[in-house]
Structure 1
Amino acid sequence: MPCQSSDELNILVKEAREYTKEGKVANYIPALGRANPHDLSIAIQYPDGQCISAGDIERKISLQSISKVISLALVLMDRGSNYVFERVGMEPTGDPFNSIAKLETLSPAKPLNPMINAGALVVTHMIKGNSIEDRFQRLLSFIREMANDSTIDYCEDVAQSEFKTAYLNRALCYFLKQHHIIEEDVEKLIDLYTKQCAIEMNCLELARIGMIFAMDGVDLESGKQIIPVHISRICKTFMVTCGMYNASGEFAIKIGIPAKSGVSGGIMGAVPGKFGIGIFGPALDEKGNSVAGIKLLELLSRNYKLSMF
């Protein structure tokens, strides 16, 4: 079913786009630094197949940290919650997403949650498979099934750009390896993780994945339970408590929907029982979230009373 342009969404996008000038693109990753900071687009996917949109929703964006929610779902399905949460915690943090500080002060030295970089690296380490390629293909196949698009792949340019500049992530991995939370070769894990973050799709496909989480893991179009209900709910809880980096508390108060952002400017939202949201706005605030994307979600939540609280 084609996605229909929405006059109401176009009005909200026009209002929110004014905030793009307050942010900056993620130029510390060279491939992401080439984005147009004034871009802003949104797709909303309903479980019956209907879709509404505004802006250039066909533009490809890399998942970046949005992939953390999806890899977590796969690993929980692979290994179970007891295994996973022995190695990564469940608590929010007020520290930046790439901070190493808490690892040095906690005992055992496991990451506080799967949405910060240290926790996401541990989760990616737990993806099952016989090789890096095998593990990546399992994650990619899972994403393709959720988005209902077998052509989704990763951007080699973005992956290489991130691999070459992933000094902090390497530091996190070596610290975690010292404490036996990570047991594999660090360069291989960084290779897998940067490819995971470089998986790209458009806003409509992102909204469809959000819709799967919103509907407790069910794809109502096919009738398939892609993610078990309890795992989908765990993921949505992390999206509420940790999904917007160290701005998650303010986001929950002002907007109040499960969401996950990425430094490409993408935001995936999952309004429980209703619909999925995919947003692209590459101008970021100081915490790494899309400035105009958050404003757009704030307008949506306020106008249509979407907050779950």
Structure 2
Amino acid sequence: MNICGDYEALNLMVEEALQYTKHGKVANYIPALSTANRDLLSLSIYEGESTVASAGDTFKTFTLQSISKVLALALALMDKGEDGVFSRVGMEPTGDPFNSIIKLETHSPSKPLNPMINAGALAVTNMIEGNSVDEKLGRLLSFIHELTGNSSITFNEQVAISEYNTADLNRSLAYFLKQHDVVTGNIERLLELYTKQCAIEVNCEDLAKIAYVIGNEGRHVETGRSIIPLHIARIMKTFMTTCGMYNASGEFAIKVGIPSKSGVSGAIMASVPHGPGIGIYGPSLDEKGNSIAGMKLLESLSHRYDLNIF
């Protein structure tokens, strides 16, 4: 598959998708995200070795936000194993918004339905091993450095502080989970780690390289090293397919059909199994919190290059 050589078509698809940015809004419930330029859209596609195609301002950095949930899940699974993780977090999709508390109150036991909603992500982050916030975050960053080959990646302190100071709903979710023995330890330290995790800053090329490793059975093509065990890479792709686009995941699976994860920064990471990794940034969001132009761009890519896994 040589998508990367199709520069003219890729640039045209980005230009066509850009028209949708005017129908969305940037995230404003996290103040530091509200200053993003609504009319940005960029794309990187990585097919292994040094084969990268880009369109738009692909070296513009942005925070992972909920995309970090997939990476934290991988680390927690490597630390605790499947039994340890899924004793505290479920495997089922939900039609509720990503920050909803309702299923925690109406289901027994009161564990989050999956790791991609905020309650589940908090429980997963709580399982990352380490003696301090810095040690746990350092392990997650080292993991991302290995996936991308970019050791300069760190978190955006301004965004992390902004998220921490406005994290009242996540704080409530965390205390609810602690009451029901789903999470343990100091909740404020958990919130500090979680908001720094969400504020990890990358560009489209970094994101495409992460996506590539996930899509290609956890193996880094340039080093030949298995970074993510095969069974964990498969779990990651499954959750990306069933839960990765918030409560638009079902429609996205039909229209696009690529395991993907979005974040409210406007980022989307898409992992084609045994195929390219795709990184997109478009901060104009639809009502469900997904990049409105990014969704259209992925739909175009899927149709043109027959990337739908179904």
For the superposition of Structure 1 and Structure 2, which TM-score range results when normalised by the shorter chain?
over 0.9
AA partner of residue 202 (structure 2): M
CA RMSD of aligned residues (A): 1.0
Q: Which runs of 5+ in 1 are unaligned?
A: none
**After superposition, what is the alpha-carbon deviation per residue over 1:176-223, rounded to whole angstroms, capped at 9, x for unaligned?**
010011111111100000000000010000000000001010001100
Partner of 1:194: 195
Partner of 1:293: 294
Partner of 2:223: 222
Q: Which runs of 5+ in 2 are unaligned?
A: none
Partner of 1:281: 282
Report the CA distance between 1:4 and its aligned residue. Answer: 8.1
Pair 1:41-2:42 in alignment: yes
Pair 1:54-2:55 in alignment: yes
AA partner of residue 277 (structure 1): I
In 2, are the aligned partners of 1:5 and 1:53 still within 8 Å (CA)? no
> SS of the counterpart of 1:267?
strand
Report the CA distance between 1:8 and its aligned residue. Answer: 1.3
Q: Structure 2 matches for 1:72-87, cutoff 5 A?
A: 72-87=73-88
Q: Structure 2 matches for 1:107-256, cutoff 5 A?
A: 107-256=108-257
In 2, are the aligned partners of 1:20 and 1:37 still within 8 Å (CA)? yes
AA partner of residue 71 (structure 2): I
> SS of the counterpart of 2:31?
coil
> SS of the counterpart of 2:32?
coil
Question: Hey, what's the Cα distance between the residues in 1 that align with 2:7 and 2:32?
Answer: 31
Partner of 2:92: 91
Quick one: percent identity of the two aligned structures?
Answer: 62
AA partner of residue 260 (structure 1): K
Q: Structure 2 matches for 1:5-20, cutoff 5 A?
A: 6-20=7-21
Question: Hey, what's the Cα distance between the residues in 2 that align with 1:255 and 1:169?
Answer: 30
Question: Hey, what's the Cα distance between the residues in 1 that align with 2:50 and 2:236?
Answer: 23
Give the structure-2-normalised TM-score.
0.98
In 2, are the aligned partners of 1:5 and 1:54 still within 8 Å (CA)? no
In 2, are the aligned partners of 1:4 and 1:53 still within 8 Å (CA)? no
In 2, are the aligned partners of 1:44 and 1:204 still within 8 Å (CA)? yes
Question: Hey, what's the Cα distance between the residues in 2 that align with 1:47 and 1:225?
Answer: 14
**After superposition, what is the alpha-carbon deviation per residue over 1:255-283, rounded to whole angstroms, capped at 9, x for unaligned?**
00000000000000000101100000000
Label 1:202 to 1:5 Cα distance change in 2 as closer, same or farther (>3 A): farther
Report the CA distance between 1:48 and its aligned residue. Answer: 2.9
After TM superposition, the runs of 4+ consecutive aligned structure 1 residues lying more than 4 A away are: none
Report the CA distance between 1:49 and its aligned residue. Answer: 2.5
Question: Hey, what's the Cα distance between the residues in 2 that align with 1:95 and 1:299?
Answer: 27
Report the CA distance between 1:5 and its aligned residue. Answer: 8.9
Partner of 2:259: 258
In 2, are the aligned partners of 1:9 and 1:54 still within 8 Å (CA)? yes
State the number of aligned residues: 307
Question: Hey, what's the Cα distance between the residues in 1 that align with 2:7 and 2:137?
Answer: 36
Question: Hey, what's the Cα distance between the residues in 1 that align with 2:272 and 2:201?
Answer: 22
> SS of the counterpart of 2:110?
coil
Question: Hey, what's the Cα distance between the residues in 2 that align with 1:81 and 1:233?
Answer: 12
Question: Hey, what's the Cα distance between the residues in 2 that align with 1:239 and 1:142?
Answer: 19
In 2, are the aligned partners of 1:244 and 1:289 still within 8 Å (CA)? yes
> SS of the counterpart of 2:66?
helix
AA partner of residue 306 (structure 2): K
Question: Hey, what's the Cα distance between the residues in 2 that align with 1:192 and 1:202?
Answer: 21
**After superposition, what is the alpha-carbon deviation per residue over 1:154-196, rounded to whole angstroms, capped at 9, x for unaligned?**
0000000000000100010010010011111111100000000
Question: Hey, what's the Cα distance between the residues in 1 that align with 2:5 and 2:134?
Answer: 37
In 2, are the aligned partners of 1:60 and 1:201 still within 8 Å (CA)? yes
Question: Hey, what's the Cα distance between the residues in 2 that align with 1:177 and 1:263?
Answer: 26
Question: Hey, what's the Cα distance between the residues in 2 that align with 1:140 and 1:6?
Answer: 32
> SS of the counterpart of 1:224?
coil
> SS of the counterpart of 2:114?
coil
Label 1:5 to 1:31 Cα distance change in 2 as closer, same or farther (>3 A): farther
Question: Hey, what's the Cα distance between the residues in 2 that align with 1:34 and 1:7?
Answer: 31
In 2, are the aligned partners of 1:158 and 1:198 still within 8 Å (CA)? yes
Give the structure-1-normalised TM-score.
0.98
Label 1:285 to 1:135 Cα distance change in 2 as closer, same or farther (>3 A): same
